[in-house]
Structure 1
Amino acid sequence: MPTLESLFLKLKDVKVIDQSIPYMHYTPIDLSVWNTNLTQMDLKNPQDFELFIENHLHKNNAKIAFGGYNEERNLYDNRTLFEGEQSEKRNMHIGMDLWIKAGTPILAAVDGIVHSFNFNAGSGNYGPTIILEHCIDNQIFYTLYGHLALESIEKLAIGTAFRQGEPLGTLGDSAVNGGYSPHLHFQIIKNIADYVGDYPGVCSKKDLTYYLENCPDPNLLLKIK
């Protein structure tokens, strides 16, 4: 049986952000511990962070900033949700973030049905979240869409079908998205276990090997150059 990753390579024209924005208007962004520009910022202030994102987009003549898979970050420091002993501290990001303004349409990556959804409230959390279940060549996997607007889940129902590229919801602002500058957290999950409406998007270094295997690089689907 082919691997899930090899199946992803065959999929074409996969988008999770407004179809009208071509990849030529995307730019990578480094939010890792190695980016010294971030040491001058209050990373828990969404207004400052949003200005940082806007300046990055302007400088690169872009509309969307993307990146973050397997990235070690300070962004989660001093947030209770991610605290723990040094070996248990969760600071390794295992999805892809796509940074753009609140209200931007979010699309289903591929054909699927709603597995679950939830409002994951609290500082640093996902806020409104949708998880889709997919089946390609008899292989089941899931995609998670975090930091959405509340309206995205208000009338949603388990089992609702979405076609590839169909609007799934819109991005939320810092008031509902866990206190972040607006962005989509997009993640692929092979085995979702017993999680409902939620799944870790940040892990500890100790658990990184497992999560990188269970959560492949989203760019295998999106193919952003």
Structure 2
Amino acid sequence: MNLKEFSEFLKNISSEPLRVLDPTIPNNKYVPLDLSETNEALNAVDVSSSKKLDAYVNSHIKTNEAQVAFGGYLEIRNIYKRSNHFNKQAQEERNIHLGIDLWCDAETPIYAPLEGIVHSFKNNTNYGDYGPTIILKHNISGVEFYTLYGHLSLASIKHLEVGKPLKKGKQIGTLGNAEVNGDYPPHLHFQVIKDIQDYQGDYPGVCSKTDLEFYKNNCPNPDLLLKL
């Protein structure tokens, strides 16, 4: 199944938006957030500080009378320059974001948008990494794919078991704070993955320009499901 076919499949799973946050939050309470390198307003923000970035995000949400800020798919971001995790020596800089971020409060409940099973989970503790992460495996109409949930709370993975079945709409965890989520303002990194390869509890959520074509094909836009 090529990218076009897989994208069409994802889009047609549901005519209604699928939710990873509280389903009673209407679309008009989600506001787009631009964290790209082309957003000049970010030049005045120390994005290496989770507190200062948090103040910027929360001000954006409040100004727009929203509850959640979202966005970031294939966004080129400067925020990753602060962490060696994305910029190891002799490696091309990774700065292209492969999921959608949903920015809201720590401890916000996170729900399975589709029926699935727990594929794997892990606390990814590198500075700037996901922190606690859950990956679900789905089989819809015979098509297997995966969804990743990054920046969760430690409690989200404490009593989890691989293979655990989850119904659509079942709570899978809560958002973590900056102390456990890689030092970011609280948010969910939500990503769709066609082929998980050999990864367990982790999968690249940021890529380099050289690898973009591969990841764009393997990680289509999560908004095909969320319909924000």
TM-score by length of 1: 0.96
**1 CA distance for matches of 2:44 and 2:88?**
25
The letter for the 2-side match of 1:41 is V
Alpha carbons 1:28, 1:65 under 8 Å: kept: yes
Contact 1:188 1:216 (C-alpha < 8 Å) held by counterparts:
yes
Task: Give the SS at the match of 2:65.
Answer: coil
Extract structure 1 runs of 4+ deviating beyond 3 A: 84-87
Q: Which residue of 2 aligns with 1:27?
A: 31
Of residues 121-130 and 77-86 in structure 1, the stretch that sits farther from structure 2 once superposed is 77-86
User: Matched residues in 2 for 1:4 and 1:155: separation?
Assistant: 33
Equivalent residues in 2 for 1:87-98 (5 A)?
88-98=92-102
Once residues 68 and 144 of structure 1 are traced to their aligned partners in structure 2, the CA distance between those partners, rounded to angstroms, is 15
Deviation for aligned residue 1:51: 0.7
* SS state at 1:187 partner: strand
User: Residue 128 of structure 1 aligns to a residue in which SS?
Assistant: strand
Partner of 1:179: 183
Aligned counterpart, 2:7: 5
Candidates 116, 119, 129, aligned match of 1:115: 119
Assess, with a 3 A threshold, how the Cα gap between structure 1 residues 72 and 86 changes in structure 2: closer, same or farther: farther
Quote the Cα distance in structure 1 between the aligned partners of 2:107 and 2:91: 37
Q: 2: distance between equivalents of 1:73 and 1:168? A: 28
Letter of the aligned partner of 1:122 in structure 2? Answer: N
Report the 3-state secondary structure (helix = DSSP H, G, I; strand = E; otherwise coil) of the residue aligned with 1:143. strand
Cα contact 1:44–1:179 (8 A) shared by 2: no
1:219 aligns with 2:223: yes
Q: Which runs of 5+ in 1 are unaligned?
A: none
Do residues 46 (structure 1) and 23 (structure 2) align? Answer: no
Pairs aligned (count): 224
Compute the displacement of 1:43 (Å).
1.0
- 1:123 is displaced (CA, Å) by 1.0
